[in-house]
């Protein structure tokens, strides 16, 4: 009996959110986690912005128009959404729910506002990590390095610094905080969090039946 019950024990997937100010290292950690965990999939957002060269619908984004996007919001088909400049971005509910039910984990690269929305409707499935830089000086150094690669102006750099201060004020809303001084150490911490959260009792579907099977055999 115990062996038969063990075969029925499944794990529900989780939603892993990584947020940070620009320059803290979130994108690097996200890419590394996806490379280390082939069973983790990145959440694909829907957007109303125009498709750029080389982008694929359903892979980079789900491209849609404003009326369709608004209809999805009205019907509760978005887990979270926001308007950024003149375009809407959001996370369609159906693909995420399907992945979770199959035991697959979904990684989200979103800001604190999107995280708040997810917390309101999917708290039990959610694991949130906020990435911080080790110092103000290091953050500015990273932003200036990036600016040199993307040809950003001094005004744009200062704008990112100002926004970073606002974003960092929300660190206490997250389950975990990683101070990214060294990328390898930070990646190891993120992986440890993911491994531990996967083993939480509440995510194991059928555990009660499995335990009853063990008890019946005694």
pLDDT tens-digit map of 4-19: 467 778 899 999 999 9
**Of the candidate ranges 51-55, 100-104, 130-134, 187-191, the one whose mean pLDDT is the lowest:** 51-55
Average pLDDT for the chain: 90
- pLDDT confidence bin for 149, thresholds 50/70/90: low
pLDDT tens-digit map of 120-130: 999 899 999 99
pLDDT tens-digit map of 62-110: 999 999 999 999 999 999 998 887 899 999 999 999 999 999 999 998 8
Q: What is 2-43+104-216's CATH topology?
A: Rossmann fold (3.40.50)
**pLDDT > 80? residue 146:** no
Whether 26 and 18 have beta carbons less than 8 Å apart is answered as yes
pTM of the model: 0.86
Which residues touch 182 (CB under 8 Å, ≥6 apart)? none
Domain ranges of the chain: 2-43+104-216
Strand partners, 179: 132
What would the DSSP string read from start to end of 21-44? -TTSSHHHHHHHHHHH-TTEEEPP
User: Of all residues in the chain, what percent carry a pLDDT higher than 90?
Assistant: 65
Tell me which residue of 127, 124, 57, 123 sits closest to 92, measured CA to CA: 57
Tell me which residue of 50, 48, 30, 49 sits closest to 40, measured CA to CA: 30
Q: For residue 79, which phi and psi values (nearest 5 degrees)?
A: -75, -35
């Amino acid at each position: 009996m115990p062996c038969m019950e063990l075969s029925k024990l499944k794990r529900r997937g989780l939603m892993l959110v990584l947020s940070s100010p620009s320059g803290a290292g979130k994108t690097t950690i996200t890419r590394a986690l996806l490379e280390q965990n082939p069973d983790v999939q990145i959440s694909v957002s829907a957007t109303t912005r125009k498709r750029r060269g080389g982008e694929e619908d359903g892979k980079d984004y789900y491209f849609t128009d404003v009326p369709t996007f608004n209809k999805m919001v009205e019907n509760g088909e978005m887990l979270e959404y926001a308007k950024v400049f003149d375009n809407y971005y959001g996370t369609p509910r159906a693909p995420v729910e399907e992945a979770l039910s199959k035991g697959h984990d979904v990684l989200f690269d979103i800001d604190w506002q999107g995280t708040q929305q997810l917390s309101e409707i999917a708290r039990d499935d959610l694991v949130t990590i906020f990435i911080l830089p080790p110092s103000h000086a290091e953050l500015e150094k990273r932003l200036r390095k990036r600016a040199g690669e993307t040809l950003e102006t001094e005004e744009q750099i200062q704008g990112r610094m100002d926004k970073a201060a606002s974003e960092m004020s929300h660190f206490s809303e997250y389950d975990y905080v990683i101070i990214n001084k060294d990328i390898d150490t930070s990646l190891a911490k993120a992986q440890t969090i993911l491994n531990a959260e996967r083993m939480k009792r509440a995510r194991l579907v059928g555990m009660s039946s499995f335990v009853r099977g063990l008890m019946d055999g005694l």
